[in-house]
Structures are given as structure tokens and as C-alpha cells.
Structure 1
Amino acid sequence: MKEPRAPCVLITGCGEGGIGHALAAEFKSKGCRVFTTLLAHEPRDHLTNNGINAYTADVTKDDDVITLRDTISEITNGNLDVLVNCAGICYTMTAIDTEVKEVEKMFAVNVFGPMRMVHIFHPMLIKSKGKIVNIGSVGGIVPYVYGSSYNATKAALHHWGNTLRVELKPLGVDVINIISGEVGTNILKRDNSRKLPEKSFYRPLEKEFQNHVRRSPQTVSPQQYATAVVAEVLKEHPRAWFWTGARSFEVWFGDTFLPKTFWDGIFTREFNLTKLLAK
């Protein structure tokens, strides 16, 4: 008898120490054939030394993704069982001080990247009756302060994925939104040196803002996160929305049972926003 084919998994954004890296290692441990993407400047030993295929590809570029598709298709005979859209960047700033060019970069990776991946890889996923996994965030659910633009990218990803799920179901492809709580990764380091503009109405909170961008939040480890996500994704019938990570249950409960404005008071206190009140 012919041996069953190992599931083929493609994960974008697998820099060392991140969610993608942890997911790749966990899928590999479950017997999957794992393909990953990195940017040109990123090292790959953390993947290749563990038998994980690593390719240079930028999800914001059509040519990169098409080349990646052709390469993987040749290796797997056109099969792809799981696509994990994990590549993402973060931009921390008040909504009123947001630089639109920074947000455009973030949407290009966090939203248009997954759209491009699905557009180019969907024939392989349909052939395999596969799964698309979008790595979302609790930030796309609640009004987390200083994260309005990042939150917007994740909310867009969630709702695009919602419709994608309905449209692909008749074609045999599952779509899973992962609503991620806090996970201990390097994603916040990009904003460590960010400061409020000198003329910002938020200048009274400059010290608090600096503490925020340099914070060490309560998190689960990438390994803990990956264990939970992979276990769900590999189920025969995974949940459409899967909540995991620090504070994810708290956010799920509040969003499910409490009014939307419940978070206003929570975050006003947490971020000391009363300091902005006119004297």
C-alpha cells in the first residue's frame, strides 16, 4: 500500500524567536512537511538546522510569492494542506498622531500580504482540501490604546477571513481565525525607541508612552502558543475562531457578554488617560 503523504504546511514570517518560528517547529514535530518564508536580511539556521525548508520571500511582492508558489508546487506535486499567514509588523502610536505612511506599510504586510498569499496559492489549497490560518489578535477586537492602526489591520484580517471562510467552504477549504492574546515575541522591539511628536496633545503622557513601548507584558511563550494553535489546526473540524494566548479569555468574555464601551473605562485607567483632562 502507498504510504500516506505528510501534510504540507507553508508559514509566512518565520524570523527567529517569533510566532512563525514556533509554529514551524511544532508542525514539524507533528510529522508535517514545513515550508517557511523569511526576508532577505533574516538568518535561517534556526529553521534549516531543524529540517525546515526556508525561502526568501516578501509577502508584499507578487513576483516573490509567485516564485515561492512555483517552487513549492514542484516539490509537493501541487499540494498544500495548510497556509499560515503569520507575517506581521507592529506600529505603536496614538490615533491622532499616526503617520499614514507607516500604516500603509503595516497594511501591506498584515492585510494585503495574506490576501496576496491566498490569491496566488488557492488552487493548491483547493486541490488538497486544505486550511488557511490567519494569525489575528485581540487588538482587532478591543480598543487597545496606542494600537489603533495595528488593531485596524487585525480587524480587517478577521473580517476578510470571515467572508473567505464562507466563500471557500463549498470548495472544501477551511479558514481559521486565530485570535491571539499576548505572546512573548520580538514584535514590540521595532517600536522601542518611538516617541510622541513634540506637539502631540498626548505629550503629558510621554513618560507613560515610553514605558508602554518598552514594556514586558504578561505573555505565554511562543512554544505554548504554537502547541495550542497547531493542535487546533490539525483537527478534522477546527473552530472557525480560536482564541489563545494571555488575556484572550478575558477579551473573549468581555466582547461576548459586555457592552463595547466596557473597555473604555478599563483602558482609561490602565493608560492613565485622565491625565489628559483639561484643568
Structure 2
Amino acid sequence: MEDLKEKVFLITGASSGIGAGIAIYLSKKTTAKLALVGRQEKNLKRISLYCEKSSGLTPLAIIADITEDSDAERVVNEAVEHFGKIDVLINNAGVIGMGGIKNSEMEIYDKVMNTNMRSVYHLTKLATPHLIETKGAIINISCIAGSRPSTMALAYNISKAALEHFTKCVALELAPDGVRVNSISPGFVNSNLLKDIGLSADQLEIFVKNVVGNMPLKKAVENGEIAALIAFLASDSAKSITGSNYVIDGGSMLR
């Protein structure tokens, strides 16, 4: 992917799960420069070291909680000060909160919306001037839950629906500036986000087996598959694509 050479990727939620998978894929397949953001210092340093060994390039590891406004500002400032620019913003950080309208607390709603939507809005706003300078791209990591109703995680579903509409609105606004904005909606990914649903290890194993068994392709979505789609959307091969949502779900939306 020659056209990603020297591009600077700012990736949130990079210390684990999908974010870590994106960082590792890019370090193996491209010579892009990576600014990795996460709250888990030990994990983030481990992922950064792995990326450095893969590519020979040292990522910028930024320990931060992007739900804190001052941290979000620091993230953008540190990335620009270190690399001189931002080409691609990947809004990946997210949390899940279980429960529906009858059995969840407002604290869950506030936490989920603050992480999955407000922080994305704020970080995107802060990064926009720099992305306009580079004619860059924004890729938001959503979920099929944003368009597939369920009763398990109401706040999470709402946050992802909002994220997808945010993607379209910002794509329309920034198109005249040459900035493309797209989203990706994975189906089931066996990541550590699942730890937040409150199941024991045995219950979680059964849950995963049941979910995968009901997917038409009978396989969980892999981080590398999501990362490959991100690399495509960030590349010149996707230079006419904006405001789109890409579903990668093993066929789950067919049912």
C-alpha cells in the first residue's frame, strides 16, 4: 500500500481489541506512522513495541482518556507536535453497557454516550483543521447494533446509530474541504469489550459459541479484516468514497 507511506494515523482505543489489531496490521502492511491512544499504559506500550518490531518505525504512544476534554486536546496536540500532521483519524475507542429501558441506570447511558459519541465528536472537531490541511480521512468504528435493534444494550445501540449519522453529516460538511468520512460496522468480534457484559468465563464461552453458530458464515469477524478495510478506506483507492458505512459481519445482517 504505497500510497499510505508517510501518512500519520491517529488511532484511539489502541491498547487492546480492534484498535490494537488495526495498529498491528498497519505496522506489518504499510510504512504509515502511528499515534496510538489508550488508557491502559502497559498494554499500549506492549502494542507499540510490537509495531516497532514489525515496521522499524516507533509509534507515538499517548496515554489518555479521550472522554476528558483536556486529554483529547493533548492527544491532538502531541500527535501534531510529534509528526507535524494528521492524515487519518480512526475513532475506535468505545464501551458497552448492558440493559434496556426497564433495567438500566442513567449512569450506564451517560458513560456509553460520553465515550462512544461525545468524545468522538470532540476529538473529530479538534482534529478537523489538521485533516483539512492534509486532505485526510476519518474512519469511525461503529457496529451493526447501530442499525439492528435489540434489547440487550440499549445505550450502546443508540450510540452506534448516532455515530453512523454523525459520519454522514460530517462527511457532507467536510467534502468541500477534501476530507472523506466513513464508518465501519463490524458484527461479532471476539474482543475484550465482551468482558463488560457481565458474564462468567463459562457463560461467555457459551455466548460466543451461540453467537458464532448463528452467523451465516459461522465465524467471528477478525481484527485483521477490519484493519484491511480501514487501510482501503484511508488509501487513494477510496478517494471517491465518503459518507458510507461498511458492514463486515459474517452475514449477520441477513437474518
Q: TM-score, normalised by structure 2?
A: 0.83
Q: State the alpha-carbon separation in 1 of the partners of residues 162 and 10 from structure 2.
A: 22
- The match for 2:130 among 124, 131, 134 is 124
Asked if structure 1 preserves the Cα contact closer than 8 Å seen for 2:66 and 2:72, the reply is yes
Q: State the alpha-carbon separation in 2 of the partners of residues 110 and 177 from structure 1.
A: 13
Asked if structure 2 preserves the Cα contact closer than 8 Å seen for 1:55 and 1:68, the reply is yes
Corresponding residue for 1:19? Answer: 18
Q: State the alpha-carbon separation in 2 of the partners of residues 213 and 166 from structure 1.
A: 42
Corresponding residue for 1:7? Answer: 7
SS in 2 for 1:50: helix
- The match for 1:215 among 188, 198, 207 is 207
Instruction: Report how far residue 66 of structure 1 moved.
Output: 1.4
Task: Give the alignment of 1:144-155 within 5 angstroms.
Answer: 144-155=150-161
> Can you give the 5+ residue segments of structure 2 that lack an aligned partner in the other structure?
53-58, 213-219
Q: State the alpha-carbon separation in 1 of the partners of residues 147 and 76 from structure 2.
A: 32
Asked if structure 1 preserves the Cα contact closer than 8 Å seen for 2:60 and 2:79, the reply is no
Structure whose alpha-carbon radius of gyration is higher: 1
Residues 37 and 67 of structure 1: is their aligned pair in 2 closer, same or farther, counting only changes over 3 Å? same
Instruction: Report how far residue 214 of structure 1 moved.
Output: 6.3
Residues 1:178 and 2:179 are matched in the alignment: no
Residues 1:241 and 2:244 are matched in the alignment: yes
Instruction: Report how far residue 14 of structure 1 moved.
Output: 1.1
Query: CA-to-partner distance for each residue in 1:98-120, whole Å, 9 max, x for gaps?
Result: 11111101111100111111111
SS in 2 for 1:175: strand
CA RMSD between the two structures: 2.3
Higher alpha-carbon deviation: 49-58 or 108-117: 49-58
Corresponding residue for 1:88? Answer: 94
Asked if structure 2 preserves the Cα contact closer than 8 Å seen for 1:182 and 1:220, the reply is yes
Q: State the alpha-carbon separation in 2 of the partners of residues 171 and 228 from structure 1.
A: 23
> Can you give the 5+ residue segments of structure 1 that lack an aligned partner in the other structure?
195-209, 255-279
Instruction: Report how far residue 48 of structure 1 moved.
Output: 2.6
Q: TM-score, normalised by structure 1?
A: 0.76
Instruction: Report how far residue 95 of structure 1 moved.
Output: 2.5
Instruction: Report how far residue 121 of structure 1 moved.
Output: 1.2
Query: CA-to-partner distance for each residue in 1:184-239, whole Å, 9 max, x for gaps?
Result: 21111122249xxxxxxxxxxxxxxx957961132122122222332233233335
Percent of aligned pairs sharing the same letter:
24
Give 1 or 2: higher helix fraction. Answer: 2
